[in-house]
Amino acid sequence: MNSSTDARRDALRTALTDIAEEQISRAGLSSLKARKLATDAGCSVGAIYNVFDDLTGVVFAVNSRTFACLGETINAALASEKNATAQEMLVIMSRAYLSFATEHETSWRCLFELPVGSEDNVPDWYLKEMNDLFALVSAPLREIYSDLPEEDIQLLARALFSSVHGIVQLGLDRRLSGVPVPQIERMIELVLLNLSSPGGTTSNQNAPGDADLA
Amino acid sequence: MNSSTDARRDALRTALTDIAEEQISRAGLSSLKARKLATDAGCSVGAIYNVFDDLTGVVFAVNSRTFACLGETINAALASEKNATAQEMLVIMSRAYLSFATEHETSWRCLFELPVGSEDNVPDWYLKEMNDLFALVSAPLREIYSDLPEEDIQLLARALFSSVHGIVQLGLDRRLSGVPVPQIERMIELVLLNLSSPGGTTSNQNAPGDADLA
């Protein structure tokens, strides 16, 4: 394959990812259809499968952009609070996660809507990008729980992520019945700030309101 | 309406709920269709709407049974560990929740699959049944966090439920790629047992393995 063919393939990959990203962010993963994707890209349906293994491959490419955007959001939030303690960093990251989920809801949901079991076929680069995001959570945990073995740090990072994700998801799922976002923030803080800190502070000293991070 | 009509209506309600429950537990909420429900119950489609407001009403009736079954599972687990501390009670309840979700996965998922915004039309009796389940979580929290205002206890109960739910859901969603249930249990324990206890124990003293509850 020569370099002009490579360039054409790259251009088609980018075009298809652009279109799929726009479609998913507007109407969700279920709205993504190969035929419409091909029409919008001005190619045949078969051409999609020349540059992606399958439609899931297109979704990986879109989610990869969402990972990058989420990572930037979290890093920007952390950068704006340079003196935060490790525990406060967890809250800052969670708030950034909540705000990202609220502002990019369909793209964010798409991260979790890959068919059950498809993780067996997840490409290594995709897993690496996901693990890089988990590493943001592990770093402050390693500081807070310096005695915990690395295996437990990894598990705790995933557990805390799942916890915050659960709060955000159940909160947003019920948004029309009026659970306001500040209440979701407060729920996250109640969980994260009641985690024991190394000094072993009591629950009450350890459950501040918004003011503590303002 | 005379009592024999009432009895017929009750019988039809029960029959429709039985059939819908079986259908949902076998194939999930999306498989529930009014026409098939009517055929299986030997009634007209219109007759469904004589005894339920709509198909969502049928799902409320099925979910109500799931609530009852979940409540029994949790109470049975608590009853088997009479000397548990408040913090251990949270772990026992979470384990019971995980085991319930694993064993009754489609019925459990159905609890969370009502259309977005439908909570505006949730009947009071349904909300009461849900709140009775949350009350199981609030009780030990009130003991652990005796200084926290009741409003925060309620919010923390929902936050912890959402946390555990998030861990269970993300765990089960990925089950085909081999996240074993014991690892989900450990994740839940890492979160719940690292919550500060009133005495303010440190994270490390406070993060036991299975042995501590065995």
Taking the C-alpha atoms of residue A54 and residue A34, their distance in angstroms, rounded to an integer, is 9
Q: Do the beta carbons of residue B102 and residue B182 sit within 8 Å?
A: no
**Range of the structural domain that residue A108 is part of:** 56-213
Domain termination residue (choose one: A11, A34, A52)? A52
B8-59 residue pLDDT tens: 999 999 999 999 999 999 999 999 999 999 999 999 999 999 999 999 999 9
Taking the C-alpha atoms of residue A20 and residue A41, their distance in angstroms, rounded to an integer, is 10
- Structure confidence at residue A211 as a pLDDT band (50, 70, 90): very low
Q: Is B98 on the interface with A (CB under 8 A)?
A: no
Residue A198 above 60 pLDDT? no
Shared domain check, B33 and B66: no
Percent of chain B with pLDDT over 90: 59
Considering CB atoms only, which of A148, A163, A202 is closest to B191? Answer: A163
Shared domain check, A128 and A24: no
A102-142 residue pLDDT tens: 999 999 999 988 764 555 678 889 989 999 999 999 999 99
Q: Is B207 on the interface with A (CB under 8 A)?
A: yes
Task: Report how many domains make up chain A.
Answer: 2
What are the helix (H) ranges across A28-149?
34-41, 45-51, 55-79, 86-103, 105-110, 124-144
Taking the C-alpha atoms of residue B116 and residue A172, their distance in angstroms, rounded to an integer, is 9
B134-148 residue pLDDT tens: 999 999 999 988 988
Considering CB atoms only, which of B171, B174, B191 is closest to A160? Answer: B191
Give the number of other CB atoms < 10 A from CB of residue B25.
17
Taking the C-alpha atoms of residue B15 and residue B11, their distance in angstroms, rounded to an integer, is 6
* CATH number, domain with residue A40: 1.10.10
Shared domain check, B108 and B96: yes
Give the per-residue pLDDT at B199.
39
Residue A92 above 90 pLDDT? yes
Give the per-residue pLDDT at B115.
65
Residues 136-165 of A with CB under 8 A from B: 144-145, 147-148, 152, 155-156, 158-160, 162-165
Q: CB burial class (10 A; 0-12, 13-18, 19+) of residue B26?
A: exposed
Q: Do the beta carbons of residue B91 and residue B139 sit within 8 Å?
A: no
Shared domain check, B38 and B83: no
Helices B86-103/B181-193 angle, 10° precision: 150
Shared domain check, A139 and A90: yes
- The torsion region of residue B117 among left (phi > 0), alpha (psi -120 to 50) and beta comes to left
- Reported ipTM: the value is 0.78
- Structure confidence at residue B210 as a pLDDT band (50, 70, 90): very low
Query: Higher-confidence residue: A48 or A155?
Result: A48
* Nearest residue of A to residue B202, measured between CA atoms: A200
Extract long-range pairs of B159-163: CB within 8 Å, 24+ residues apart: B159/A167, B159/A187, B159/A188, B159/A190, B159/A191, B160/A191, B160/B90, B160/B192, B161/B134, B161/B137, B162/A163, B162/A166, B162/A167, B162/A169, B162/A170, B162/A171, B162/A187, B163/A162, B163/A163, B163/A164, B163/A166, B163/A167, B163/A191, B163/B191
Which of B163, B156, B165 minimizes the C-alpha distance to B98?
B165
Residues 168-197 of A with CB under 8 A from B: 169-171, 173-177, 183, 186-188, 190-191, 194-197
**Minimum mean pLDDT range among B65-74, B116-125, B194-203:** B194-203
Shared domain check, A184 and A85: yes
* CATH number, domain with residue B61: 1.10.357.10
Shared domain check, A146 and A126: yes
What are residue B195's DSSP bridge partners?
A: A195
Shared domain check, B72 and B16: no
Give the per-residue pLDDT at B201.
36
Give the per-residue pLDDT at B52.
96
Shared domain check, A166 and A99: yes
Shared domain check, B135 and B119: yes
In this prediction, residues A180-193 reach a mean pLDDT of 83
Indicate the Cα dihedral angle B110, A26, A33, A65, nearest 10°. -100
Using a CB-CB cut-off of 8 Å, the residues of chain A touching B119 are: 174, 176-177
Shared domain check, A14 and A92: no
Q: Do the beta carbons of residue A183 and residue B184 sit within 8 Å?
A: no
Shared domain check, A190 and A134: yes
Interface mutation vs chain A, best among B162, B183, B184, B210, most A CBs within 10 Å:
B162
In this prediction, residues A44-73 reach a mean pLDDT of 95
- Structure confidence at residue B208 as a pLDDT band (50, 70, 90): very low
**Minimum mean pLDDT range among A167-176, B35-44, B95-104:** A167-176
Binary contact (A194, B196; C-beta < 8 A): yes
Residue A199 above 50 pLDDT? no
Domain termination residue (choose one: A33, A52, A71)? A52
* Distance between first and last Cα of chain A: 57
Residue A181 above 90 pLDDT? no
